[in-house]
């Protein structure tokens, strides 16, 4: 992994993101909710590195606290989607037949809808809020893991060690949990890394539309939305949140590419 320079760059970006999220109360120079309306839209300065928003709040401090929301949404979405997708994919691939047809047709139906539009529709029905955003992203997030795991299980279930375990009387649940899932973790980990980037970007998109974290909670997407009316004469309001979203997504993609190369058996 250390030989892959882009993966190292991505790991550094993610490390900074994690440190920023964990130690935001200690590292943030200002209270992210503190308003100084008379100083609204002030440009970057020595006192306020990223400038101030329309209400005079420090953008750098708000972005540090906003990283907590992004990480929470990403981890929660990927974790729940991973559990559902791996379980359904493993069962579908191992048993086949009617169970496989049922699950895969559900997957096909969900994949037929544009993911972000389905999430917007669901959050619009349930109401704005982070929990509803996570629920909406999980609704469409598990299908990719299910298809990936099913394809891996279809191959692994025909290998000799699975046949031997079956011949020794191992039950399907034990074969799936002990013999199949541990041997397909590599591609799942890579997919989860890309899933984190997608979840963070989706959360920012929904917050930009006013469906995610509600004011005054700091969120990168909401900060972009707040600053779009001042783009011409206060570009710092949207530039810095946009750059951070881009860098974080790039960081996850770089790490995912590095993990994919690391787990590639062809290089061994």
pTM: 0.88
pLDDT tens string 72-131: 999 999 999 999 999 999 999 999 889 999 999 999 998 888 888 888 888 888 888 888
pLDDT value, residue 265 = 56
Structure tokens belonging to residue 140: 């469409």
CA distances 249 to 54, 70, 80, 205, 256, Å, are 26, 11, 20, 13, 11
> Average pLDDT of 2-26?
90
Q: Indicate left, alpha or beta for 169 from its phi (over 0: left) and psi (-120 to 50: alpha).
A: left
Find, among 76, 199, 55, the residue nearest to 131 by Cα: 76
Considering the segment(s) 51-267 as one domain, its CATH architecture is Orthogonal Bundle (1.10)
DSSP string covering 124-184, please? HHH-SSHHHHHHHHHHHHHHHHHHHHHHHHHHHTTSHHHHHHHHTT--HHHIIIIIIGGGG
Q: How confident is the model at residue 268 (pLDDT cuts 50, 70, 90)?
A: very low
Is residue 61 predicted with pLDDT exceeding 90? yes
Domain-wise residue ranges, the chain: 51-267
Alpha carbon distance 78, 193 (integer Å): 9
pLDDT tens string 195-237: 999 999 999 999 898 888 888 888 899 999 988 888 888 899 9
pLDDT tens string 123-173: 888 888 888 899 999 988 999 999 999 999 999 988 899 999 999 998 989
Phi, psi (deg, nearest 5) at residue 86 = -65, -40
């Amino acid at each position: 992994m250390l030989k892959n320079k882009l993966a190292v760059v991505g790991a550094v970006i993610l490390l900074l993101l994690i440190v920023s999220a964990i130690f935001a109360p200690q590292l943030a120079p200002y209270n992210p909710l503190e308003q100084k309306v008379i100083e609204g839209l002030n440009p970057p300065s020595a006192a306020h590195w990223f400038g101030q928003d329309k209400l005079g709040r420090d953008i750098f401090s708000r972005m540090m606290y906003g990283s907590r929301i992004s990480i929470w949404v990403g981890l929660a979405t990927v974790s729940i989607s991973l559990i559902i997708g791996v379980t359904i994919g493993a069962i579908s691939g191992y048993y086949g037949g009617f169970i496989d047809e049922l699950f895969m047709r559900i997957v096909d139906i969900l994949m037929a809808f544009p993911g972000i539009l389905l999430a917007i529709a669901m959050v619009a029905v349930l109401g704005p809020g982070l929990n509803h955003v996570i629920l909406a992203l999980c609704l469409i997030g598990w299908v990719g893991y299910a298809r990936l795991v099913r394809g891996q299980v279809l191959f692994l279930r025909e290998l000799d060690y699975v046949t031997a375990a079956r011949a020794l009387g191992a039950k399907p649940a034990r074969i799936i949990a002990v013999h199949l899932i541990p041997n397909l973790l590599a591609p799942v980990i890579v997919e989860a890394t890309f899933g984190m980037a997608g979840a963070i970007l989706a959360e920012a998109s929904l917050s930009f539309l006013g469906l995610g974290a509600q004011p005054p909670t700091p969120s990168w997407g909401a900060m972009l939305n707040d600053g779009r009316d001042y783009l011409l004469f206060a570009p710092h309001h949207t530039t810095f949140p946009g750059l951070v979203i881009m860098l974080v997504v790039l960081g996850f993609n770089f790490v995912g590419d590095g993990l994919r190369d690391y787990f590639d058996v062809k290089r061994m």
